[in-house]
C-alpha cells in the first residue's frame, strides 16, 4: 500500500501536534507558522504584524497576538454587533463572538427554523435574538451572513437600517461583486468590510472550541471612517480566525466559487467517482475500491500534505508510490487545466453566480437539494464508505 510508511509518519506528526496544541479555548496564543529554515529570514515583525514570504511573494498577515482579548473587548465596548442569519457562518461566528464576551445579537425570521435553533443554543428573544429588521436597526456593526440569495432578496428590507456611521460586514464578496445580479450597493456613509473564514462556519466553531482557528481573508471595500481596516482585523480575530490575510471583495468571491467547484468539492468528488468506478469495473471489491480511493487519501495521505506539504507526503511513501505519482501527476495536470480555465471564466463572467442565485431562489430548493444529496448518499462508493468508517478502531471503542 502506498501509505504504509506514510501511516507511521502520520502517527509521529499527530503525536507532535497533540503535544503542541494550543491551550487557549477562546482567543488563545498566536498560531505558530512552521517555516523552513531558509525562509525564516524573510519574516519581519512589527507589533506582531508579519510580512511573510509566500512562495516568493511578500504578504502581510495578522494574528491573534495583534489583537489580544482585552484589546478586542475595549475596541468594541460601545458597539452592538448584529449577526443577520443563523446558517453555518451566522451560527459559528455568532457563538464565537458571544463566547469572546462581545455584545452580539442575532437577527433571523421570527419562529422560523433558524429562530428555533438559535433559541436552543441560548439566544433569548427580546434580549439578544430579534427579527432581521430589529437586529439591523440595533447593530452598529451589521454582519450580513444571510445566504447569497437571501442577501439579494432581503436587501431592500435591510438597507434602510444601514445608516451613516455604521459598519456593514460580509463574509463573502458575492453580493457586492455581482451587484448587477444582487442589486446590493454599498450605502453611502458606512464602512464596508469583509472577513471570510476559509472553511464552513461549523468548522470555524469546532476549531474555536478546540483553541484553534481557521485562516480568514479580509478586505475593505469602503472606508469612510478611516478605521475600516483595523476594525475588520479586530472582527476577524473576534470571530475565531487563526490568522488573517488581505484580499479584495472580487478576488475573494472568484477564488471561493472557483475552489468550491474545483479541488475543494466538485473536482474531488468527480475524481473519487472516476477512480472508484474503474476499480469496480476491473473486478475490485467495494471495500478495496473505497480504501484505495477515499480512505487512504483522507486518513493517511492528505493529513501529511496538510502537515508539511506535497513533497513531505511523497517523501514518506514507498519508492513505487513516489515514482508513479511523479510520473502521472503531469498527465492529470494537462487533462484538468483546460477544465479549470473554463471554470474560472465561468465564475468571473457571472455565469456561476447567476446559476446559484436562480437555483437557490426556487421555492422547492431544499427539497430538490435533498434529492441530489440522497443520490450521492445512495451511490455505492459512499454506502461502502459508511461501512469502512464504522470499522475504524476509534469507532469501535466500547
329 included as an active-site residue: no
Is there a contact between 99 and 70 (Cβ–Cβ < 8 Å)? no
Contacts (Cβ under 8 Å, ≥6 apart) of 199: 214
Residue 18: half-sphere exposure toward Cβ, Cα within 13 Å: 6
Question: Which residue in the list 172, 183, 229, 284 is annotated as catalytic?
Answer: 172
Q: Report the 10 Å Cβ neighbour count for 125.
A: 13
Helix H or strand E encompassing 134? helix 132-138
Sign of CA dihedral 73, 75, 77, 83: negative
Separation between Cα atoms, residue 218 and residue 390, nearest integer Å: 39
Q: Report the 10 Å Cβ neighbour count for 200.
A: 15
> Would you list the DSSP string of 321-363?
HHHHHHHHHHHHHHHHHHHHHHHHHHHHTTHHHHHHHHHHTST
Residue 101 grid coordinates:
464576551
DSSP-based three-state secondary structure for 73: helix
Residues in a beta bridge with 195:
218
Q: Burial of 284 by CB count in 10 Å (0-12 exposed, 13-18 middle, 19+ buried)?
A: middle
CA angle 205, 207, 212 (to 5 degrees): 130
Residue 173 grid coordinates:
464578496
Q: Report the 10 Å Cβ neighbour count for 299.
A: 16
Sign of CA dihedral 195, 149, 204, 167: positive
Separation between Cα atoms, residue 113 and residue 94, nearest integer Å: 16
Active site residues: 172
Amino acid at each position: 500500500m502506498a501509505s504504509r510508511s506514510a501511516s507511521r509518519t502520520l502517527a509521529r506528526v499527530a503525536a507532535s501536534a497533540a503535544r503542541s496544541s494550543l491551550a487557549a479555548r477562546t482567543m488563545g496564543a498566536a498560531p505558530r507558522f512552521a517555516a523552513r529554515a531558509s525562509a525564516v529570514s524573510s519574516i519581519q515583525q512589527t507589533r506582531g504584524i508579519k510580512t511573510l514570504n509566500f512562495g516568493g511573494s511578500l504578504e502581510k498577515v495578522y494574528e491573534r497576538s495583534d489583537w489580544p482579548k482585552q484589546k478586542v473587548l475595549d475596541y468594541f465596548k460601545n458597539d452592538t454587533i448584529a449577526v443577520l442569519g443563523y446558517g453555518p457562518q451566522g451560527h459559528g461566528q455568532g457563538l464565537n463572538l458571544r463566547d469572546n464576551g462581545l455584545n452580539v445579537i442575532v437577527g433571523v425570521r421570527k419562529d422560523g427554523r433558524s429562530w428555533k435553533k438559535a433559541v436552543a443554543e441560548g439566544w433569548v428573544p427580546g434580549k439578544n435574538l430579534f427579527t432581521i429588521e430589529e437586529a439591523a436597526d440595533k447593530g452598529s456593526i451589521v454582519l450580513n451572513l444571510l445566504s447569497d440569495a437571501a442577501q439579494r432578496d432581503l436587501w431592500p428590507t435591510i438597507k434602510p437600517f444601514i445608516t451613516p456611521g455604521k459598519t456593514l460586514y460580509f463574509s463573502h464578496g458575492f453580493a457586492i461583486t455581482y451587484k448587477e445580479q444582487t442589486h446590493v450597493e454599498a450605502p453611502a456613509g458606512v464602512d464596508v468590510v469583509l472577513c471570510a473564514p476559509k472553511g464552513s462556519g461549523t468548522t470555524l466553531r469546532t476549531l474555536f472550541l478546540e483553541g484553534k482557528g481557521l485562516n480568514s481573508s479580509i478586505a475593505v471595500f469602503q472606508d469612510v471612517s478611516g478605521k475600516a481596516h483595523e476594525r475588520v482585523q479586530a472582527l476577524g480575530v473576534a470571530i475565531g480566525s487563526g490568522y488573517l490575510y488581505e484580499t479584495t471583495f472580487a478576488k475573494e468571491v472568484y477564488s471561493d466559487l472557483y475552489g468550491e467547484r474545483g479541488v475543494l468539492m466538485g473536482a474531488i468528488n468527480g475524481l473519487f467517482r472516476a477512480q472508484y468506478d474503474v476499480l469496480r469495473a476491473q473486478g475490485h471489491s467495494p471495500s478495496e475500491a473505497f480504501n484505495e480511493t477515499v480512505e487512504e487519501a483522507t486518513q493517511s495521505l492528505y493529513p501529511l500534505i496538510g502537515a508539511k506539504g506535497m513533497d513531505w507526503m511523497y517523501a514518506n511513501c514507498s519508492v513505487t508510490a513516489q515514482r508513479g505519482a511523479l510520473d502521472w501527476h503531469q498527465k492529470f495536470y494537462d487533462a484538468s487545466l483546460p477544465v479549470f480555465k473554463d471554470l474560472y471564466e465561468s465564475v468571473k463572467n457571472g455565469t456561476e453566480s447567476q446559476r446559484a442565485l436562480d437555483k437557490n431562489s426556487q421555492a422547492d430548493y431544499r427539497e430538490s437539494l435533498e434529492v441530489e444529496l440522497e443520490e450521492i448518499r445512495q451511490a455505492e462508493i459512499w454506502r461502502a464508505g459508511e461501512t469502512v468508517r464504522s470499522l475504524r478502531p476509534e469507532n469501535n471503542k466500547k
